[in-house]
């Protein structure tokens, strides 16, 4: 049992989907899984285990930001021996050609956080996805006719920043989108020899100022969750 996750070893599947919003975890469990049990409600951060097409999988809310996902990923790894951690969340595009609803697979994650600087004593570390998960996710998206992009994303430490144009520097270096968790997840997975992947749905575009409605977000979210669920091993 973890400090922030209820349950015992065996309650959580080898593969865990990690949406930031616990209510999205609940939605995935209720609409896409069968034989679902809720193994954790601590701090309202819901966790569920069920079956997708006969394969056992868990869905665990992670909260917002790198410190929060680090807590849940650490406990999933150390207390529940999880092998694969797949973040499913939203992002904001930094490139004008990226449309609302596009799926972005985070091949790597830049960051403005100091978390890795502290770990590596000021040196740069490049957090990257597990290649096999990345390749399989890309192939699943293409086979399903889903519009998908692969590349570098920015894991930001702040949601409401003071400089409204700060994103332009990252865009100039072809960073596709901004989110808030990926760099920490990839670093932890590498440290403990686990597989990690971030599958993101573009919900707004900082370059074009477009933003998806709540209804559109829910519809495109299901595409992303399906790609993630198709990565589960039998």
Q: 159 is written with which tokens?
A: 């949601």
pLDDT for the residue numbered 37: 97
pLDDT for the residue numbered 213: 80
Tell me the average confidence (pLDDT) per consecutive run of 10 residues in the chain, 234 residues long.
85 97 95 97 95 97 96 96 97 96 97 92 94 96 94 95 92 98 98 98 94 74 93 81
Active site residue 204: yes
The pTM score is 0.95
Of 204, 216, 230, 233, which is the active-site residue? 204
3-state secondary structure of 84: strand
pLDDT for the residue numbered 218: 67
pLDDT for the residue numbered 234: 53
Mention every residue, 6+ apart, whose C-beta is less than 8 A from residue 189.
73, 85, 130, 195, 196
Handedness of CA 17, 18, 21, 23 (dihedral sign): positive
Complete domains list, the chain, with CATH? 15-229 (3.40.50.1580)
């Amino acid at each position: 049992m973890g400090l922030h996750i209820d349950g015992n070893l065996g309650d959580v599947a080898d593969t865990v989907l990690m949406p930031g919003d616990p209510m999205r975890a609940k939605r995935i469990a209720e609409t896409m899984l069968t034989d679902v049990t809720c193994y954790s409600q601590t701090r309202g951060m819901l966790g569920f285990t069920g079956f997708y097409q006969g394969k056992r999988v868990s869905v665990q809310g992670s909260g917002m930001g790198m410190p929060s996902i680090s807590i849940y990923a650490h406990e999933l790894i150390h207390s529940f021996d999880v092998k694969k951690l797949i973040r499913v969340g939203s992002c904001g595009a930094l490139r004008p050609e990226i449309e609302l609803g596009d799926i972005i697979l985070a091949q790597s994650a830049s960051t403005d956080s100091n978390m890795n600087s502290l770990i590596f004593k000021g040196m740069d570390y490049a957090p990257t996805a597990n290649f096999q998960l990345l390749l399989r996710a890309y192939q699943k998206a293409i086979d399903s006719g889903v519009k998908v992009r692969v590349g570098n994303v920015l894991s930001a430490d702040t949601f409401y920043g003071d400089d409204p144009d700060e994103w332009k520097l990252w865009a100039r270096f072809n960073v596709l989108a901004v989110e808030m968790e990926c760099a920490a997840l990839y670093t932890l997975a590498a440290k403990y020899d686990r597989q990690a992947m971030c599958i993101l749905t573009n919900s707004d575009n900082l370059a074009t100022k477009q933003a998806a409605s709540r209804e559109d977000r829910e519809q495109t979210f299901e595409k992303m969750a399906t790609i993630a669920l198709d990565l589960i091993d039998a």
